[in-house]
């Protein structure tokens, strides 16, 4: 017993060291970088300015209006005027950003603050959202913070590079993931109204993330959660559109969307875009193979539709088992067919939490493989590899062949593909086991009845 106790203490000591190291990395790459980037260009700047424009009843997608509302306490980089003059600011820099009109309603309170104050408050909000996500997930798993698995979850979550990127750049993805995790926690505690409000806010800020959770609760017939989310979103949409009554914002919005996804633009998934490797959707990988943007899009959508159909079939075939597993599988699959950047992979904290709960179960090998597929996201690998290749630190013989981009630079997409497959397998295996158990119970009941 003394050996076991010593072993447990040693495990906790090592885990605490890991948490300390991960916490230092998180602080340096997250909030400290955010403080530095807050003095310049980041992902929060455009929605902050656009929210201010919206409150004044002007077109938030108009480049001219956007530039006129540039914060007085923020230096404007030289490239802004240059790119605006030649008409490439939207395509190259993604500003004004094509965020949905509903997002500006929720961000309007930040727009009344000076830029420096608003950015500081926004960083604090993101940090709180991340902290709440961790607490909610540990609560959902039923783990105790004193358990080694809960400590390991904290260490890995703190070390995940997409979270560092999201916080340092001020991207709304951090808050949206926090809202979605809060939705799952509230729904699990039968707080449907709170869950619906949180989910509605997530949809308003980042529809490509929030709508996955709406779909889940619709399929699970949690009408109160899904209905409240849709109703809340509709109210925000009405408010957003009413403020711009008579303003022709829709054509500008559609044009901005077209610009950012055009060839060589900031959201283009081909190497024509200098930062194509920052995306994790399947088109990034498929283009390297088929060399056709249209075909890559088609194949990604077909694979996404097929995986969604399999997920729906597994979800509805038997009685529910693990809600966290079902949601984790859906969100991983949702990252593949449509546009997502590296910071959206913060969603992996959900399958991370599930894997650490299942690692002591009957299918621990599957849970361990799931965990292995998440580990590549402990570093911004694609960005690092691209920088090394461009800097000449990787020999041309290695960095130039076709397989370099297909396998090395696109390794995060491969990891997501493998992760989605493993989670589908987990759903199938867990449901098969459940079906076998129910069949055994039914057989036993029939035998007793006949006896």
Q: Measured between alpha carbons, how far is 21 from 54 in angstroms, rounded to an integer?
A: 43
In a domain, 451, yes or no: yes
User: Can you give the residue range of the structural domain that contains 288?
Assistant: 269-451
In a domain, 364, yes or no: yes
In a domain, 292, yes or no: yes
pTM: 0.92
pLDDT for 326-359, tens place per residue? 999 999 999 999 999 999 999 999 999 999 999 8
pLDDT for 68-99, tens place per residue? 999 998 989 889 999 999 989 999 999 999 99
In a domain, 196, yes or no: no
Mean pLDDT value across the chain = 91
Res. 4 pLDDT band, cuts 50 70 90:
low
Q: Is a pLDDT exceeding 70 seen at residue 284?
A: yes
CA angle 373, 287, 307 (to 5 degrees): 50
In a domain, 388, yes or no: yes
In a domain, 330, yes or no: yes
What's the start-to-end Cα distance of the chain, in Å?
48
In a domain, 99, yes or no: no
pLDDT for 176-226, tens place per residue? 999 999 999 999 999 999 999 999 999 999 999 999 999 999 999 999 999
In a domain, 300, yes or no: yes
Find the farthest-apart pair of alpha carbons in the chain and give their distance in angstroms, rounded: 88
Question: How many domains are contained in the chain?
Answer: 1
Q: What is the DSSP string of 155-214?
A: HHHHH-HHHHHHHHHT-THHHHHHHHHHHHHHHHTT-HHHHHHHHHHHHHH-HHHHHHHH
């Amino acid at each position: 017993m003394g050996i076991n106790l010593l072993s447990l203490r040693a495990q906790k000591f090592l885990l605490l060291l890991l948490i300390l190291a991960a916490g230092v990395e998180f602080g340096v790459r997250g909030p400290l970088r955010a403080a530095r980037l807050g003095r310049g260009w980041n992902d929060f700047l455009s929605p902050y300015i656009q929210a201010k424009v919206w409150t004044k009843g002007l077109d938030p997608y108009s480049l001219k209006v956007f530039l006129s509302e540039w914060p007085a306490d923020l230096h404007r980089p030289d490239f802004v005027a240059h790119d605006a003059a030649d008409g490439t600011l939207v395509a190259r820099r993604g500003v004004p950003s094509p965020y949905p009109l509903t997002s500006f309603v929720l961000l309007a309170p930040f727009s009344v603050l000076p830029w420096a104050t608003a950015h500081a408050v926004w960083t604090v909000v993101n940090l709180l959202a991340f902290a709440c996500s961790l607490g909610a997930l540990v609560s959902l798993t039923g783990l105790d913070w004193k358990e080694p698995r809960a400590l390991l979850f904290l260490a890995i979550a703190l070390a995940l590079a997409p979270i560092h990127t999201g916080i340092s750049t001020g991207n709304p993805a951090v808050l949206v993931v926090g809202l979605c995790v809060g939705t799952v926690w509230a729904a699990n505690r039968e707080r449907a109204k709170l869950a619906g409000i949180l989910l509605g806010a997530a949809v308003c800020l980042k529809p490509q993330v929030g709508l996955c959770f709406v779909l889940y609760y619709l399929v699970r017939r949690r009408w109160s959660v899904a209905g409240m989310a849709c109703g809340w979103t509709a109210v925000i949409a009405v408010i957003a559109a009413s403020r711009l009554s008579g303003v022709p914002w829709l054509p500008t919005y559609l044009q901005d969307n077209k610009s950012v996804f055009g060839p060589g633009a900031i959201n283009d998934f081909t190497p024509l875009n200098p930062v194509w490797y920052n995306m994790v959707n399947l088109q990034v990988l498929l283009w390297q193979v088929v060399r056709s943007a249209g075909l890559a899009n088609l194949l990604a959508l077909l694979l996404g539709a097929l995986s969604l159909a399999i997920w729906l079939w597994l979800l509805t075939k038997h009685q529910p088992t693990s809600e966290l597993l079902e949601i984790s599988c859906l969100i991983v699959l949702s990252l593949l067919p449509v546009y997502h950047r590296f910071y959206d992979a913060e969603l992996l904290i959900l399958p991370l939490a599930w894997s650490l709960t299942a690692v002591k179960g009957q299918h621990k090998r599957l849970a361990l493989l799931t965990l292995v597929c998440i580990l590549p996201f402990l570093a911004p690998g694609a960005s690092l590899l691209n920088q090394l290749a461009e800097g000449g630190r990787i020999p041309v013989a290695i960095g130039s062949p076709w397989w370099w981009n297909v396998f090395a630079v696109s390794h995060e997409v491969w990891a997501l593909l493998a992760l989605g497959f493993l989670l589908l397998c987990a759903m199938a295996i867990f449901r098969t086991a459940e079906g076998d158990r129910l069949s055994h119970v039914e057989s036993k009941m029939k035998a007793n009845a006949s006896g």
